[in-house]
Structure 1
Amino acid sequence: MFETLAQDITRNLADYQPKSRWKGWLLTLTLNSTQAVTLIRLQFWMARHGLPTLPVAKILFWMFKIEVSRHAYIGPGLRLPHPMGIIIGPWSHVGANCDLYADVRLVLAHGVRQGPSLGDGVFMGDGAKAVGPVRIGKGTVVGVSAVVTRDLPEGVTAAGSPPEFWVRINKPSCHEHSGRLSVSAVSPGSGHLPEDLSPSEGSGVRTHR
């Protein structure tokens, strides 16, 4: 628990860059994000050791309106920049170093006992939702209020409801010096694509060359 919690706290403190140990401890004790991840890890620890989780779960809900199922899995490095109104339902899987903003929902679909699965480094913006046994690939960004009901590949950006997809690829020929990324919009099922879009092998989406 403590090693995982330490990774969570490190990621949540990264934006503040405390310059001294005492300041780091002060932020750890007072930030909403560090308080929330501490309660979440404590809830999981108690569940693993057969202890009642209801008291911790109620404190987490009263303070932050966050609900996390004891049957969910959350990898190390969880970052909650605005920990309010988050729901992580049963049998959901959250990979390492994920960012979940306010009002994110990872919930079951009706009649299906399998929750969403987030790969490592997934970013879920405010109000983003994943419903049912969907898989969101490593490093994917889900925009504000997007509702994901089908799988997303690795390294894309999805926005809207239903989401439209943007595939992020490097353009070394013209942007290598700045490290900028090229982004291209693809609307699933629209039947219309710009001329310079071509299929990306095995991804089910399209990329800008």
Structure 2
Amino acid sequence: MHVRLTLLAAARSSSLLDVRFDDDRPLDAAGWHEVLRRVPSLSHLAAAELRYCSPSARCRETGSVLGLTPLAQPALRDCDMGRWRGRTLQEVTACEPQAVDLWLSDPRAAPHGGESLLTFIQRVGGWIDTRPVSDGGWAVGITEPSVLRAALCYVLKAPPHAYWHIDARPLTALTVTGCSGQWHLSLE
């Protein structure tokens, strides 16, 4: 079965300097403005057969502003960051520099007590592979930027450390086509 899946990174919920692990804050004013500005260029997403989103407030709000009324999917949630949830990288590095180094260098490590990077990528990939879209159908997912990065690693079968070299900015879209285990990246 051949399907198309478009993942769209949600609009922003904070400034770059205040990005927090596993953040569930709603869109900030700049995020609202940006998604409203992009509605005309993203309105085609409403034609998708199925529309999903991460359970986070900013993903639900981005989908709603775009008129998608997406269904929240737990598998599209941000990486479980355990005790680091809600803290910035700078805050965690100040308290646990060795744990941060381990987390950044070993994709199987989860020094925060949550998910490892490898487990996160596999969770996102499992969701991609099991979308119930009809043959030739199209699904859209409004996700955290981290989910888009994990999806890209999974689809391209890239090594997990490639995750750290992908920049997924707010409202960046990624479209893949194919079927379970045989995905192709479509640049638009």
**TM-score, normalising length from structure 1?**
0.27
**Greater RCO, CA 8 A, separation 6+:** 2
Task: Give 1 or 2: higher strand fraction.
Answer: 1
**TM-score, normalising length from structure 2?**
0.29
Q: Radius of gyration: which is bigger?
A: 1
